[in-house]
Structure 1
Amino acid sequence: MYRKEWFVFDGDRPLRAVIRNYSIADYEGLLRIQQESFPPPYPQELLWSREQITSQVEHFADGALCVEIEGELAGSVTSLLMHYDPEHPQHTWEEVADDGYIRTHREDGNALYVIDLAVRPAYRRLGLGKWLIFSLYHLVIELKLDRLLGAGRMPGYQHHADQLSAEAYVDAVVSGELKDPVLTFLLRCGRVPVCTMPDYLDDEQSRNYAALMEWRNPFHTDH
């Protein structure tokens, strides 16, 4: 199980922070994270249910993390282990995530896959999303996995889809010509684009595309 205690700073004010594994006892706090991170018009029936949280913890508690600030739940991340073949990277969120129940988790998987990351808006200035991702990097190293994977939404693509292909849009974000709220954040976390994936998720802003992005275990030399 994972537990990290340190300080984050709100301006010059240090705040006690803890990243730990979440459990079903955290459900009300986890639901609040989801509600504030994905407000309407996002369909509220798609927020994590108690049954989904229970299944996530039962199948892979090590990959279910939350962050507390001064004892208040502020963010969470959910992941699973999968068998990843770099020669066949295409997939959808549903295929990997099992609608959030993660019954697709494989104990002998070679990659850690992020299916959800959420931070309450009032806490986003503290960099908690990056800290949660870094904690998953720790897990990749601890489990001796090849890499961390996850598909980033491309919400900025809605403004450029008539002029750029999805691949060209990602290239423009990587080169710094464009900035995307999600992809730029993932780049700052050390992730590197692998490919674009059509029909990854029903997401009008991204035109249903996502960018598969990875972080490779630096202790594995056979990349």
Structure 2
Amino acid sequence: MYRSEQIVFDKEKPHRVIVRNYTKDDFEQLIDIQKECFPPPFPSELWWNNEQLLNHVSLFPRGALCVEIDGQVASSLTGVCTNFNPAHPNHTWEEATDSGYITNHDPNGNTLYIVDISVRPTFRSLGLGKIMMQAMYHVVVEMQLDRLLGGGRIPGYHKQAGNMSAQRYVDKVVAGELYDPVITFLLKCGRLPIAVVENYLEDEESLNYGVLMEWKNPFKLL
């Protein structure tokens, strides 16, 4: 099981944070985080429910991480193991994660797939998302997997859709010509885009597009 402690700074004020696996005791806070992170028009039925969370901590507890600050759960990251073939990247979030229930978790899979990452808005200046992503990289290395992979939303795309394709939008974000709150964040975490997928997730802001972004295990030759 995973547990680490470190200090983060809100301007000059230090906060001690604990990165750990989440448990049943955290479920209520984890659902609250989803509500804060994904308000309407994001579909409320895609917020976590207790059955999904129970599967996370039962089927793949190593992939269920959170950050605790002063006794409060401030963020969470959930993963599942799957087999991924880069030659055939197209899929939906529902297919990859069994709609967040992860009953398709494959202990012998080659890829750690990110199901969800959420940080309470009031804690987003502390870099908790990057801290959790780095912790999940540790899991990839420990399990000797090929990669970490996940589909990122492109919430800024709806503002540019009349001017360019989703692929062109992503290329401009990678080039630093545009900023996207999700894709730019994932780039800063060390992940690289490998494919733009249509109808990846029901999301009005992204026009249902997703961008598959991976971090390759540097200790394996792929």
Shorter-chain TM band: over 0.9
d(CA) in 2 for partners of 1:45 and 1:76?
18
Name the TM-score, length of structure 2 as normaliser.
0.97
The aligned runs of 1:45-194 (5 Å cut-off) are 45-194=45-194
Structure 1 residue aligned with 2:215? 215
d(CA) in 2 for partners of 1:190 and 1:179?
16
d(CA) in 2 for partners of 1:88 and 1:43?
28
**CA distances 1:41-74 after superposition (whole Å, capped 9, x unpaired):** 4333331111111011111000000100122110
Aligned-residue CA RMSD (Å): 1.0
d(CA) in 2 for partners of 1:155 and 1:42?
11
Structure 2 residue aligned with 1:24? 24
Q: Which runs of 5+ in 2 are unaligned?
A: none
**1:35 equivalenced with 2:66 (yes/no):** no
3-state secondary structure, aligned to 2:84: coil
d(CA) in 2 for partners of 1:197 and 1:41?
21
Structure 2 residue aligned with 1:6? 6
Following superposition, the deviation at residue 165 of structure 1 comes to 1.2
d(CA) in 2 for partners of 1:34 and 1:93?
17
d(CA) in 1 for partners of 2:182 and 2:85?
24
Over the matched positions of the two proteins, sequence identity in percent amounts to 54
d(CA) in 2 for partners of 1:86 and 1:38?
29
**CA distances 1:120-142 after superposition (whole Å, capped 9, x unpaired):** 01110101011111111010000
**CA distances 1:137-158 after superposition (whole Å, capped 9, x unpaired):** 0100000111000011011111
Following superposition, the deviation at residue 87 of structure 1 comes to 0.8
* Segments ≥4 residues shifted beyond 4 Å: none
d(CA) in 2 for partners of 1:33 and 1:117?
10
- Higher mean C-alpha displacement, 31-40 vs 150-159: 31-40
d(CA) in 1 for partners of 2:146 and 2:16?
32
Amino acid at match of 2:196: T
3-state secondary structure, aligned to 2:163: coil
3-state secondary structure, aligned to 2:25: helix
Following superposition, the deviation at residue 39 of structure 1 comes to 2.3
Are the aligned partners of 2:154 and 2:205 in contact in 1 as well (CA < 8 Å)?
A: yes
d(CA) in 1 for partners of 2:118 and 2:8?
17
d(CA) in 2 for partners of 1:35 and 1:157?
22
- Higher mean C-alpha displacement, 31-40 vs 127-136: 31-40
Following superposition, the deviation at residue 2 of structure 1 comes to 0.3
Are the aligned partners of 2:42 and 2:204 in contact in 1 as well (CA < 8 Å)?
A: no
